[in-house]
Amino acid sequence: MTLPRPPGRRPQRRHVFGRETVIAYLEANPGADRRQVARDLRLKTEDRRLLKAIFAELAATPAGARPAPQPESAAEPSAESQDVLLARVIGIDHETAEPLLEPTDWLRPGPPPRIRLRRLDAATLEPGRRAFVRIDARNGTQWRGRLLRAAPDLPERVVGTVRRTPHGRIIESADRRVREEFLVVAGPDGAPEDGELVVARPLPARRFERPRAAILERLGDAGAPRAASAIALALHDIPVDFSATALAESEGCKPAPAEGRADLRGLPLVTIDGPDARDFDDAVHAVPDDATGGFRLTVAIADVAWYVRPGSALDRDAERRGNSVYFPDRVVPMLPERLSNDLCSLRPDADRPVIAAEMRIDAQGTLLGHRFMRATMRSAARLTYEQVQAWHDGDATALPAPLHDAARHLYAAFRALAAARAARGTLDLDLEERSVALGPDGRIAAIAPRARLDAHRLIEEMMILANVAAAQALEAARRPCLYRVHDQPSPERMDALRDSLSTLGYRLAKGQAPRPALLRDVLRWAEGKPFQAMVNDLVLRSQALAVYSPDNPGHFGLALPRYAHFTSPIRRYADLVVHRALIEAHELGAGGARHGLDSLARTGEGVSRAERRAQAAERAALERYVAQFLAERTGACFAARVSGLHRAGVFVMLSESGAEGLVPMSSLPGRWRLHPAGHALVGTGTIALADRVTVRLVEATGTTGALRFDLVMSHDGGDAPRRGRGAGRDHPPQRRGKRRKN
């Protein structure tokens, strides 16, 4: 399109690139001369004059000092030219999964344009990264472009392992996205030892020299068992230590008095958790309701709001953390242990303050009514999922005899709630979870599938019902609510899912509005098939990101019009916000606080970011633990399935452990290209999503969690990648040359 011209003036040629673009290029291409920069950036004649001036200024600048941008020609870029510019990623559009960028050199008046890239570039770029982008189209301040390549960006902090070299100590980053090695600048504690794990701050670098980093923290031996979680905590900047004020406040807390609270100590409420759980913040009870033919259910949740008051140091620390973070070897709690493992833990035979939801359902599981109250309870038993399931499966000795009736009523209520769930048409993803067992030395002893029991589902349905009741109660009181929001998938994500499913033989019609029941049909079709886990993962990836917000489009996955997290205030700050709103709305005493919509929106954004940070840290730690576990089996062969395809190569997931790694494109025989839809590699054969393969482990790096494999055999077509649509080859073809890595 043609940009608008001011009346009566001749349009000027205007520059889009500037010093930052040139400096970033030189950092990526040390020793490049001016002609190479001009050629690679495809600069026009007038731009080359500016480039010459930038080179002259950089040459006159003292080493290590970067010149500040000076006012340049502040005019529009030519609409007819194909401009290459340096831009910084400012976010990802979660509706379209497209990266959003802004130019780093923007010297014109007014806001910089917003640049959208293709959805496929989202996997390459993360917020904060810089990249060279070619602009293809402009529409006012909305531009479209293509990614050429990422620019080297030094992180604010680097976490890595110290290695001794002939040229001095260096830091090898534990983050796969940071490829630079940093020369060590020792801190006040002296120089770290070879093999030590450190946190360092990159220092301003002299041009064309290896970057340096100053040691901030020494974390111990990089090969130690707990190094995996230590790296994850440092990489994702997870707060570990509580402030001294918050700790003092927690130590000064006294048990909440029973006066002014309902007395539920005569009700046989029980907690049901995993065998290794340390805090118990929810208890349940059910009894038949003769009036409705259904049940009266009680869900009692630890009254954290009694101890954590708005504006206190405990509150500030909890909001900053957002939630607890769980690793195989440790837990980083949202609240100090004095609260999370003591005063707010619903231990048996101890009086504990709770906020209880009393709910009535009919025989079909429909919620008929509810009320919330502050109460005192005394847990009748601390049960595990395995105990409750064993009793349900016929082992009468698994539970004490006085609890048999209570367990029978809970399962009957669960069946009613499960029927209501099925009638709603919820999206039930059967994602296989893996349990990690640590040995006495703190290293992984085994990785096995985690059993999915009806006892788990029983507690989940009770908690979902209480969360729905909390949202309904706040709406009825006309109070703002921090909803748990899960929007429907975007059309772009549905298109990507449709393309992937088509390679597996499932035709998902175009134009249908996304509904949970539609995707549930996909999951039912995949049940029992070899690629069932793959389909579950594809459907999961198609979903919008779940967030916390005062705006409520509903919860797509659960097929619920309103939903708020109420049941885990020990480990989720969002639940504490809901508790306070209920206390205030129902005048249940101290601990409530009014939230305006603006304040609630900010809180929702903060806890949503904290949740994503925690999930990323948990995933990063598990990847490193698994890499340590598999390192001893380098050279071994594993059964796997193709879990993803990229220009870099083939991602595979091991059937035994669920670990995921890469078969590099350069290791595949022959020449290959990625199918435009992204669901197959085509070359001397075809490698498609969900193909069964055998791979050999070539390298397992514990500090980064990276696994690299070679492809040994494709079980869907022979000893090598399939040829055409199924005809196998007896032997892999001879390599005709090494493909350049993208």
> What is the structure's pLDDT at 233?
95
Average pLDDT over residues 245-266: 95
H-helix or E-strand containing 616?
Answer: helix 597-631
Radius of gyration over alpha carbons of the chain, in Å?
29
Contact residues for 249 (Cβ-Cβ < 8 A; gap 6+)? 312, 313, 314
Contacts for 538-542 with beta carbons within 8 Å, 24 or more apart? Answer: 538/497, 538/500, 538/501, 539/427, 539/429, 539/497, 540/429, 540/431, 541/493, 541/497, 542/489, 542/493, 542/494, 542/496, 542/497
- Name the DSSP class of 722: B
Query: What is the identity of the amino acid at 159?
Result: V
Q: Which of 375, 380, 333 is nearest to 357 (CA)?
A: 375
Contact, 249 vs 314, CB < 8 A? yes
Q: Which two tokens stand for residue 710?
A: 């070679």
Contact, 445 vs 329, CB < 8 A? no
> What is the structure's pLDDT at 386?
96
Please, which pLDDT band fits residue 673 given cuts at 50, 70 and 90?
A: confident
> What is the structure's pLDDT at 46?
65
> What is the structure's pLDDT at 723?
35
CA–CA separation, 22 vs 77, rounded Å? 17
Please, which pLDDT band fits residue 710 given cuts at 50, 70 and 90?
A: very high
Is the pLDDT confidence value at 129 over 80? no
> What is the structure's pLDDT at 82?
45
Q: Which two tokens stand for residue 236?
A: 């994702």
Is the pLDDT confidence value at 737 over 90? no
CA–CA separation, 529 vs 722, rounded Å? 20
H-helix or E-strand containing 631?
Answer: helix 597-631
**Cβ count within 10 A of residue 555:** 25
Query: In this structure, are strands 325-326 and 294-302 parallel, antiparallel, or unpaired?
Result: unpaired
H-helix or E-strand containing 638?
Answer: strand 637-646
The neighbouring-strand residues paired with 376 are 263, 353
Please, which pLDDT band fits residue 31 given cuts at 50, 70 and 90?
A: low
> What is the structure's pLDDT at 685?
81
> What is the structure's pLDDT at 725?
34
Read off the pLDDT of residues 396-448 as tens digits, 9 standing for 90 and up. Answer: 999 999 999 999 999 999 999 999 999 998 988 877 778 888 888 888 888 88
Q: Which of 94, 91, 95, 101 is nearest to 143 (CA)?
A: 101
> What is the structure's pLDDT at 708?
95
Is the pLDDT confidence value at 646 over 50? yes
Where would I find the H helices in 425-489?
454-476
Quickly name the fold that domain 633-714 has: OB fold (Dihydrolipoamide Acetyltransferase, E2P) (2.40.50)
CATH of 158-222, one of 2.40.50, 1.10.3470, 1.10.1330, 2.20.110: 2.40.50
Read off the pLDDT of residues 153-162 as tens digits, 9 standing for 90 and up. Answer: 667 789 999 9
Q: Which of 130-139, 272-281, 392-401 has the highest average model confidence (pLDDT)?
A: 392-401
Place of tokens 């049909």: 521
φ, ψ (nearest 5 deg) of residue 386: -65, -40
* E strand segments, 303-409: 325-326, 331-332, 351-361, 367-378, 381-384
- Name the DSSP class of 119: G
Is the pLDDT confidence value at 234 over 90? yes
Q: Domain spanning 19-150 has what CATH number?
A: 2.40.50.140
Contact, 524 vs 454, CB < 8 A? no
> What is the structure's pLDDT at 591?
64
Q: Domains of the chain: which residue ranges?
A: 19-150, 158-222, 244-487+545-618, 491-541, 633-714
Q: Which two tokens stand for residue 339?
A: 């609260």
> What is the structure's pLDDT at 94?
63
Q: Is 394 helix (H, G, I), strand (E, B) or coil?
A: coil
CA–CA separation, 267 vs 290, rounded Å? 18
> What is the structure's pLDDT at 118?
75
Q: Is 610 helix (H, G, I), strand (E, B) or coil?
A: helix
Q: Which of 633, 655, 634 is nearest to 643 (CA)?
A: 655
Please, which pLDDT band fits residue 304 given cuts at 50, 70 and 90?
A: very high
**Would you call 11 exposed, middle or buried from its count of C-beta atoms within 10 A (0-12, 13-18, 19+)?**
middle
Is the pLDDT confidence value at 519 over 80? yes
Domains 19-150 and 633-714 share a fold: yes
Contact, 359 vs 466, CB < 8 A? yes
